[in-house]
Amino acid sequence: MKIYDSMKPIVRSIDIPKLYNTCILEAYKDGELVWREEHHNTTTDFPKNVINKGNFFDSIPNNKLFPLDKFFAGIQLISKQGDATRMTIPSDAEIYACAGDASMNVDNNDLRRGIYNVDSSEPLYGANGRIIGYKHVWNWLDTRGNCPDNLHPFKAVCLTRSVLAVARYDESTAYNNVLDEILATISTTERLAKCQLIDYENECAYFIWYSNSKITVEKYQLDTKQFHVQGVFNDGSCDVTTQIGTTVQITPDTAISDFSNDRSSVSLVNGNIHFLTWNNTTIVDNIIDTSDYSVTSNTYTFDLGSGITIRTLDTLGIVKDGLLVSGGYIWLIGSDNKFYKCNMANVSDVSEPYPMVANNGGNNGVFAELPNGDWIKYSYGQDNVTDGITVNFYHNGKVYGAKCSYNAPRGWGMNPRAVNVTPYGTILVSLPYAGRYGSEHFISIDVLTHYVSTVWNITDDDHYKTAGMDMRCIYIISEEEIT
């Protein structure tokens, strides 16, 4: 086995054209213009980051890699100003209006959704006849896209792929919203697929397991910048073979009794590994300092009034984020099949229960935290699903039913080992093991997107839509400045 050295592979640079955008938002009543605002700028940092740092350049088909007609063919108008460098809307923002690129994508049950104006939308051509950009136009009729109570104005225009824009965050079981879009599936080796934790900033991956009363950690070099641009490493493979240091075996501060893989998980928080095990109402958290592999332990018995029901259903290995450690809290599921947010500094500080909306195997599986603090709860037990799976999605204090495009067929032994979310707009779903049907053996990483790019923060407070108003948004993105 190789030992890590200081040599780094050369990351191929990608020539990104300078992109310009123009956004026009206007409202009408009885055919008369009520208000109009126009905004011009070059594209924000986000689309540049998502290409340079997070798009698996060699693995994603050309028709999905930043096509100007699809990359920003969906729109969301939200209640809070956003950060143009982030891949998600603010965690406390509400969506007031949204639309995709279908000519009639109106959902009668969702009055936020508008329509794509196919007659006014068009490609833009340069002098040589080459397509240099696109104009997208969306319309909302008088009953749609209205601000709540006719008082709260739009504060930001956000753009995304069409499939992600028409989300109906619904607290019922009508899951017509899609949280992500699968862009590529990368075949890999079992070693990489089993690495639960990927540290993007420090360019490494961790594989963790427990046996003979010891936590074992292997650390591998993972050139994340190259991997996320090209989908492979410099030798053309998709594997981690260069180990950093030697395999480390750690004796926990607090002995782990009655250990089981499906009642354990690992998390990466501020560069340190949290190795969590649980049984009934008690959680033991062994925190491993990755700089020297020293370990400290904390034991929590939260005031739930019930036990902890979540089981990862992965008997072959330890998963990432079976329980979610985030911001000094642990998210878990009680025996009443509801979500709880538990304060690690005060075991009596437990949130009111959040209902589980997608309850088909929802009390098992793994969490995936997004950069804004939202999370997706992936569930197991949906065998041979090919059209996406239902998940729970937490945003702005509520849990919603949702769909995930992750669609690899699976059985009990073929569930996501880890869902790693990059800061640059991609979700990596690792499948390390085979299913229970026949002799299938899927070792792969699915690359998905969950991104919304804020392109315009509205500073005026009078841009709101009320009943009786029609509204139109025009967005132009081009490699040449449009005058």
Mean pLDDT by 10 residues, the chain (483 residues): 33 55 92 91 62 56 64 86 77 87 59 89 88 91 88 86 65 58 70 81 89 92 70 65 87 81 90 91 93 94 83 72 94 90 95 81 77 82 56 85 61 61 70 48 61 79 88 89 68
> Phi, psi (5° rounding) for residue 368?
-140, 115
The whole-number pLDDT of residue 465 equals 93
User: Which tokens is 43 given?
Assistant: 């594209």
User: Which tokens is 424 given?
Assistant: 């640059």
For residues 458-477, one letter each, b for 16 or more C-beta atoms within 10 angstroms of the residue's C-beta and e for the rest, the string is beeeebbbeeebbbbbbbbb
CB 133 within 8 A of CB 419: no
The whole-number pLDDT of residue 242 equals 80
Locate CATH 2.115.10 in the chain. Answer: 182-449
> Phi, psi (5° rounding) for residue 157?
-105, 125
- Say which DSSP state 163 is in: H
The whole-number pLDDT of residue 378 equals 81
CB 250 within 8 A of CB 215: yes
**Strand partners for 103:** none
> Cα(165)–Cα(138) distance, rounded to whole angstroms?
12
DSSP 176-245: --B--EEEEEEE--HHHHH--EEETTTTEEEEEEEETTEEEEEEEE--HHHHHHHSS-TTS-----EESS
Residue type, 436: R
Fold classification of 182-449 is: Tachylectin-2; Chain A (2.115.10)
Question: Residues with Cβ < 8 Å from 313, sequence gap 6 or more?
Answer: 262, 361, 364, 365, 380, 381, 412, 415
Give all strands (DSSP E) within 304-395, no chain letters. 319-320, 324-326, 329-333, 338-343, 354-355, 366-369, 375-378, 389-395
Question: Residues with Cβ < 8 Å from 47, sequence gap 6 or more?
Answer: 19, 66, 71, 72, 453
Q: Mapping DSSP to helix (H, G, I), strand (E, B) and coil, where does residue 148 land?
A: helix
Count the alpha carbons within 13 Å of 450 in the hemisphere toward its beta carbon.
30
Record the pTM: 0.81
User: Which tokens is 429 given?
Assistant: 């779903």
User: Which tokens is 143 given?
Assistant: 């009953």
> Cα(86)–Cα(127) distance, rounded to whole angstroms?
34
Handedness of CA 220, 224, 225, 228 (dihedral sign): positive
> Cα(320)–Cα(287) distance, rounded to whole angstroms?
14
Q: Rounding to the nearest 10 degrees, give the CA dihedral for residues 136, 142, 143, 147.
A: 80
The whole-number pLDDT of residue 429 equals 76
> Distance of alpha carbon 123 from its chain centroid, rounded?
30
Give the closest residue to 316 by CA, choosing from 219, 414, 217. Answer: 414
The whole-number pLDDT of residue 469 equals 94
Give all strands (DSSP E) within 69-180, no chain letters. 74-78, 95-99, 115-116, 122-125, 131-140, 156-160
Q: Distance between the two ends of the chain, CA-based, in angstroms?
A: 59
Question: Residues with Cβ < 8 Å from 148, sequence gap 6 or more?
Answer: 94, 96
295-300 contacts at long range (C-beta below 8 A, 24 or more positions apart): 295/215, 295/250, 295/251, 295/252, 295/253, 296/253, 297/252, 297/253, 297/254, 298/344, 299/254, 300/330, 300/342, 300/344, 300/347
User: Which tokens is 91 given?
Assistant: 């965690």
